[in-house]
Chain A
Amino acid sequence: MTSSAMPGRPAKQSRFARKALPYLLSLPALLMCIGILIPFFTAVYYSLLRYRLNLPAMKGFIWFQNYINFFSDPKFWNTLKISLVYAGLTVVLELLLGLAIAMLLQKRTRLNNFISILLLLPLMTAPALAALMWKLMTNPNFGILSYLVSILGFPDMKWGSDPATALFTVTLVDVWVYTPFMMILLLAGLRSLPPAPFEAAALDGVPRSFVFFRITLPMLMPYILTATLFRLLDSIQQFDIIYAMTQGGPGDKLLVFQVQAYLDFFQATNVGRSAALMIILWAITYALSNVFIKQWLKLREKAHGVG
């Protein structure tokens, strides 16, 4: 650490210290979380059991029977389908909307800055409580939203209780709560883009759409991927909003993974089935994030190669 370091090279350091540094920096974080692996593997073990807390006599190791049962269970396929549809729908809507809002707010003005903070408010209301309020606002008697849509010519809107509009209703609440998450990450990304390419494009009179698709979007892609990944992970695991609004109903319309697993665990105390369901959800999120991270690393590589 003396000033005798040679030009062009960082301060002197032993080879070992240099090699160890990244590990020293990242391991504390890993160690902090590693404890969770023990309960995780315990849960994997549970998923291989026939294990209902209220039928203790039947407890036994059944290998993959819980998983095999799912394949022939139409309810499972329904859960898988609705979870994917819900996650896809909400994430795409939130991405498009979040990107659009971020672009509207891109210019650094006081008003824009203030609005961008204001728009974070829905994210700050806990989804479990927000859903209670949405339930009231969509109540046909006292609900302001029901009242407003009835003025607009839909007097019989039944929101979350009608199989035809239930998905729409919970999606609406999800979009309301989580679009700000996308917006704020994308806004930060947009504002961090280097101005040079845009200035050059403006000078050359390149059409706006070309600028958006060929310059803005590719440069923003790492941010889009990060934001989408986190949103996707949460969305496919959605519980609060759906459970508080409809408890998975009407019928089996909204029985997503976490709602089904919650009912299996807390009501039916069917630990084995619940754990197996959660492991499948975990595997899906694992695969999805793998794809995203690979893509993300590739983009990074490219960006750094160019820069």
Chain B
Amino acid sequence: MDHTSTLEKVIRGILLALVVIFFMFPIFWIFLMSFQTNESILRIPPSLAFTPTLENYIALVTGQMKTAAGSLQLNFMQNLWNSVLLSSASVIISLILGVPAAYAFARFKFRLGEDIAFTLLSFRFAPPLLVLLPLSLYFKTLGLTNTYIGLIWVYQLICLPLILWIVRGYFEDLSPDIEHAHRIAGYSWFQTFRKIAVPLALPGIAAAGLLAFIFAWNNFVFALVLASADKQPVTVGALAFVTASGIQYGQIAAAIIFSIIPTFVLAMFAQRYLVEGLSLGAVKG
């Protein structure tokens, strides 16, 4: 498929450039805003010329925000840490529980198998609002209110179905022959799963894990309702810049940039797996 014409290359290039502009321009603009004061953001018409300032980032890191109504305390860094903790712990637990389950659904035909798989998926479509009030009542009874463990448990509703169904698809695409061969060579089921199946499905696991991480990261209603201020994620924390004395756009922009960084680093790290796809050719021979 390598005999593409020059014209096609040019068209592809232009299309790709348009795509990049559409998706990157708002990010670029937010990035610029994060280095501006509110006064320079709120200019008519908007302009590219400004004196960059690190004020917004400094405010976030030091926890001191200057507004028209004096200096305010922030705990944005705590919010950021909460997000990291909640999202990574949730994804790790989801992976530990979800990958073996996905393997089971992909490899074995068993009674109720599809029903269990569908039930797991259905947790994903219980609208959060529906369960919030009863959930907060039960959390109180169970003593889970305002605990990381309680939140991580609820976050499984976001992560687990996603991981399960995406990874299942990848396992199903793997030919079982190579696993059979491994088993014949005398390895136990678990060894085969660990040494053959998981490594081969790693791209899918990485993609699913990253997406689950992002969805957990972007959630805020669960923590808002079920935990107190010291356990809130960045999504709630960044709303603190909508203050009674005006909205601090520069700091919201800086908060967004800050909150993107951990996920972006994770994505760069997982890049190899994410974009390589499954080299099925090697497996199917």
Contacts and interface: CB of A to CB of B under 8 A. Distances in A.
Direct A–B touching, Cβ under 8 Å = yes
Given A278-B130, A282-B127, A285-B125, A126 B220 contact: yes
A157 interface: no
Interface string B171-207: 0110100001001101111000000000000011001
B207 A43 contact: no
Nearest to A97: B19
Query: Most A CB atoms within 10 A — which of B42, B108, B255?
Result: B108
Contacts of B234: 126
Interface stretch (B56-64, B68-76, B275-283): B275-283
Interface residues of A, number: 110
A29 B134 contact: no
Given A30-B119, A113-B275, A104 B183 contact: no
Interface stretch (A67-75, A116-124, A159-167): A116-124
Interface string A247-272: 00000000001100110010000010
Interface string A134-146: 1011000111100
A121 B24 contact: yes
Interface residues of B, number: 109
B186 A11 contact: yes
A56 interface: no
Interface of B: 1, 12, 15-16, 19-20, 22-24, 26-27, 29-30, 33, 41-46, 93, 97-98, 100-101, 103-105, 107-108, 110, 113-114, 116-127, 129-135, 137-138, 153-154, 156-157, 160, 162, 164-166, 169-170, 172-173, 175, 180, 183-184, 186-189, 203-204, 207, 211, 214, 217-218, 220, 234-235, 238-239, 242, 249, 252-253, 255-256, 259-260, 263-264, 267-268, 271, 274-281, 284
14 contacts: A26-B113, A29-B164, A115-B16, A119-B24, A122-B27, A142-B41, A147-B45, A187-B277, A193-B280, A202-B1, A230-B162, A265-B129, A293-B118, A293-B121
